[in-house]
Amino acid sequence: MKLVFATHNPNKLTEVRALLPKHIELVGLDAIDCHEDIPETSDTIEGNAIIKANYVSKKYDFDCFADDTGLEVDALNGAPGVHSARYAGATKDDNANVAKLLKDLKGETNRKARFKTVIALNLEREKILFQGIVNGTIAEEPRGDQGFGYDPVFIPEGYSKTFAELSILEKNKISHRANAIRELIDYLKT
């Protein structure tokens, strides 16, 4: 089975490929010659995942799935949330996003947060949503050099290390994306 993952992000592709059974061939947008940045115009994480999956299905006629992820911080009333990738501006700069988050949390004692991933699957004209969540806290400063995005400052519940200090295997056991992908895999097995 061939599935398109509606992403240009090689880090996401690597993480998800490590989780999928070998009989599923996973390709990204570049492999189908989709080089445009699909607009994320919804005000919800679910909506953005649906927009991206529908775009690929309609324009390229492939079975596909798309994800959208947001970091929701309690002390910031759920921000950055749906705007996580562009929290510090339109350039999608991971370092700038982390710096803005830490600045916005300066002096804050409540550092509870959660990562939420929603996957929209378009498979043989059927459309299904899957969700994964991981709770944790925001570190005082970035730590680690693995992963991407907010990984250097997100400490998952029950751990003392940030996602960026965990190996990809450790992260894939507990991450929000891995939880959503497991739901997707369970569905594909049926």
Q: What is the 3-state secondary structure (H, E, C) of 65-129?
A: EEEEEEEEEHHHCCCEECCHHHCCCCCCCHHHHHHHHHHHCCCCCCCEEEEEEEEEEEECCEEEE
Catalytic residue of the set 68, 145, 151, 186: 68
CA distance 181 to 169: 14
- Which letter does DSSP use for residue 151 in this model? G
Tokens of 29: 């947008």
94 catalytic per annotation: no
- Inter-axis angle of helices 10-19 and 176-189, to 10 degrees? 50
Tens-binned pLDDT, residue by residue, of the chain (190 aa): 899 999 998 888 988 888 888 888 999 999 999 998 898 899 999 999 999 999 999 999 999 999 999 999 999 999 999 999 999 998 889 999 999 999 999 999 999 999 999 999 999 989 999 999 999 999 999 999 988 899 999 999 999 999 999 998 899 899 998 999 999 988 987 7
Amino acid at 46: E
**What is the pTM for the complete model shown?**
0.88
- CATH classification of 2-189 is 3.40.50.2000, yes or no? no
